[in-house]
A = this chain, B = another copy of it.
Amino acid sequence: MTDFRPVLFILGLFLSALAVAMMVPALVDAAIGHDDWRVFALSGAATLFVGVALATGFRGDAMRLDLRQGFVLTAATWIVLSAFSALPFVFSDITLSYVDAYFEAVSGLTTTGATVLVGLESMPPGILLWRSILQFIGGAGIIVMAIAVLPFLRVGGMQLFRAESSEKSDKVLPRLSSVAAATVAVYVGLTALCAILYGVAGMSGFDAVTHAMTTVSTAGFANYDSSFAWFQNPAIEWIAILFMLIGGCPMVVFILLARGHFRPLWSDSQIRAFLAIVLLASLAMTLWLHATRDVEFGIALRLALFNVTSVTTTTGYASADYGTWGGFAMVGFVLLMCVGGCTGSTTGAIKVFRLQILARLIGAQLRRQMQPHGVFPMHYMGQHVHDDVQASVMAFFAVYIVSLASLTLVLAALGYDLVTAFSGAASILSNHGPGLGDIIGPSGNFQSLSDAAKWVLCFGMFLGRLEIFTLLMLFSVRLWRG
């Protein structure tokens, strides 16, 4: 029988940290004299109580988690933290039902950015701040998970990104911790820089800080129902484009950049492919808008770049209602949703490195058909890609498509039309946010969906965020058996 005490211990620590984070909106609300400070204080106290109880009750040696414990902890962290993050939404004046509150919390922590709130303009500042903080924390969590956890759980080919010396050294965790800490520091620094630039470009201090927190984390909550279209400010849009692109790159690369090494930014084939996809898709979308929607070229370029970047990085901002751009745009956006950014970023979806490996697999197949007995070793960024990594990537792709199809089918069975069901499933699974169609398109939101649909979408957001296999493992008999 596996010992799950260390899992509960670490969960307790995480919950305690979450409680501390709730103090931020509590203080802000108190400072401006908004009554919601009680809501956050109360939620924080409840969360802290449970957190401390778990941490003290199950104290033990948590430094040696085995695979079983690793899977359970990783999945449980997102599910349980979301449950407590939802408390302020329930207790606040906006009085959401628990499913709505949980949906909003999951959408926040997983950096999805789909919202059930309508009339964001008139929401209490504490609530808006809490939404941004959830995405900011979630983003940090995703980066740490990508660097320190998933490569060891061998999820979806992520073992390719295992730190090189990790298998030899006996000091794996300290070394990883320092990389993770440095990466999170870079993440915080970029967010601060983004906030400053937003402020300079004309955002209020509050908007600048909250939107910076949801930009670099490629998360997508905005303080306005119309998202970035509210600002009508090209400078702000260009800053958002830049920082969404930054958020789509592996965060580790910016540590090297901070140390003065610029080469990795160009020599990293994943980053090159990612930027090429965004640029080519933006160019195609620009021409489409210019040709079929009579939009002036310069404006079309900005519109295309902003929304293509937002979709490809699975951020979820909109600078226009791109749901009205016609069939090519709709198909293009659904496909880009499934692409995502680089591994080691906060983006969701399949991600560029997996698509690169798939392309190499297809190429190898064409070669093998010509030379049936040839051997074609695969390389990626100077590394040999072992067979088990290839199999992991392929299994991930297959399970991604199956998940997408299943989510679509369930949403359709709940009564939604093909476009809503398919785009909603694609958007939620990729942790992007808005879908297409009248209901959940960029000008709509998730409020009107049934409770059943919301629970299904919460599951979909976890599925995407946990790279599917981490969550699937919980349903595997093997995990629980001796």
Contacts and interface: CB of A to CB of B under 8 A. Distances in A.
A412 B469 contact: no
B418 A330 contact: yes
B67 A361 contact: no
A413 B372 contact: no
Interface string A389-421: 011101111110110010011011101111111
B365 A327 contact: no
A328 B395 contact: no
Interface stretch (A189-197, A265-273, A471-479): A471-479
Contacts of A163: none
Interface string A405-445: 10011011101111111100000000000001000000000
Interface in A435-477: 436, 469, 472-473, 476
Kindly state the interface size class of chain A when it binds its partner: 35 or more
Contact of A391 (B364, B413, B436): B364
Nearest to A334: B418
B361 A421 contact: no
Nearest to A405: B335
Contacts of A479: 370
A399 B362 contact: yes
Contact of A327 (B71, B331, B367, B415): B415
B398 A394 contact: yes
B362 A398 contact: yes
A172 to B, nearest CB: 15
Interface centre among A372, A394, A396, A397 (most CB of B within 10 A): A394
Interface in A120-135: none
6 contacts: A67-B370, A327-B415, A328-B415, A331-B422, A390-B391, A394-B398
Given A326-B415, A328-B415, A387-B387, 12 more contacts: A327-B412, A327-B416, A327-B421, A331-B418, A361-B391, A362-B395, A362-B402, A365-B391, A365-B392, A365-B396, A365-B469, A418-B419
